[in-house]
Amino acid sequence: MNNLKAIKSAFISVFYKDGLDVVVKKLHQLNVQIISTGGTREFIEKMNIPVIAAESLTGFPSILGGRVKTLHPNIFGGILARRDDESDMQQVEEYKFKLIDLIIVDLYPFEETVKKGAPDEDIIEKIDIGGISLIRAAAKNFNDVAIISCQEQYSYLNELLEKNNGKTSIEERRKLAAEAFEVTSHYDTHIYKYFAGNSPSSFKSSIKNAQTLRYGENPHQKGYFYGNLDEVFEKIHGKEISYNNLLDIDASIALISEFTEPTVAIIKHNNACGLASRSTLLQAWIDALAGDPVSAFGGIIVTNKNVDKETALEIDKLFFEVIIAPAYNDDALEILKLKKNRIILILKNTDFSSSSFRTLLNGVLEQEKDLKTETLSDLRTVTEREPTKQEIEDLIFANILVKHTKSNSIVLAKNKQLLASGAGQTSRIDALKHSIEKAKSFGFDLNGAVMSSDAFFPFADSVEIAYNSGITAVIQPGGSIRDEDTINFCTKHKMAMVFTGIRHFKH
């Protein structure tokens, strides 16, 4: 390491004091002179450690309700002065600046205050001015000054102080500067988003906690996740979670959150290949697997109920990558953990963002998530025959599924069980034919089944094919210029059809 510089003085002003005592004690042992403000100064004084009040450098007390404490040349001059610049050092001598070698500052909790739903005046007062200025100044002059910009860096600072006996290298200071600008960038991004509201003029997003994945969608691609997965689930067993696992986990959680009665879904490549809602979890699993026992191999299993031993015994018969549930009985876990690579996740209650974005061409697409789920009040019967009570339940069930299936998509369901789906097809006819063929290949009787479409039928041919296969009720958005042709066919053949007025494309 080169350019080792001794820390002779430190400026400390933090909102969060946890862990600060260890740092202060170490600095005192190294004979580092400490300068501080307000509550931080009082905290250090209670430790019986000498501390210089910032006011003695600035000649001003904390003013404007604490809005101005450190914004003064006598502090910023001591931070920004370039030690190897003759002109700077002449001015340090002329104005009697006190050189500062270490800054320990964190920022007011703006993001946390917004999340708590605090009133506007409280949020505004959590916009840090002095703190963020101190961080930027120290990071800019990393050649001479070390910057600790958040509480999480205390342990690293302690390591540096111990290892180098109170000295830092240029590499270490540059690393800390990069982290400091990450802190200020994240902070400013959330302030901008708060003020911009629903009318942003530019795309900005900042998510902490970078995690390097084994690879991306394929082994030759690098992959990363930015975020805190611990907020979403607890991983209690299994191998490392992959990029593709995360895509399927996301799809699984979004789908299962739509159901309240015991439900099991099996996800493969972001689409459900099996799903059923039943009075017991065991029966839900049996019927979900029946939907496509071939595709289920190597898939992801998700449920909204506690996994018991009986269900675990049946699930264990299938090879699968991941299982997600809100809880597991101890004897169920013993069974599921027999496969060492099997990933077992406990799902937590998490509030997710209401928007989503993806990179595209030379920019970014952002949109509100499709959070609309149709209920009975959203259904408008357009045929002479009203759907039966059972058909209505199945239509709503199928409509939830089609919303979470890649477009163009058709879903066939009966008795709250997925019989088959046509996912990601280039035509709605192909999606329908594929789903019918698939359902029949697994021995399902389509008589009395329902059909859901994620968008309108451009022609009556789809409902004709459905009718000839035994399907008796249809749910779709409506909106085609040929809706009357589709309605007339259904009415003539005693089929029930409801319009929702809501399209559910998922590209």
**Active site amino acids:** 140, 269
Distance CA 414, CA 428 (A): 20
Residue 58, both tokens? 């600035």
Distance CA 494, CA 467 (A): 10
Residues in the chain: 507
Strands 271-277 and 450-453: unpaired
Distance CA 423, CA 50 (A): 70
Distance CA 174, CA 161 (A): 16
Helix (H) or strand (E) holding 303: strand 300-303
Q: Return the DSSP state at 417.
A: B
Tell me whether the omega of the peptide bond preceding residue 349 falls within 30 degrees of 0, making it cis: no
Helix (H) or strand (E) holding 344: strand 343-347
Report angle CA 249, 254, 255 to the nearest 5 degrees: 100
Distance CA 10, CA 480 (A): 70
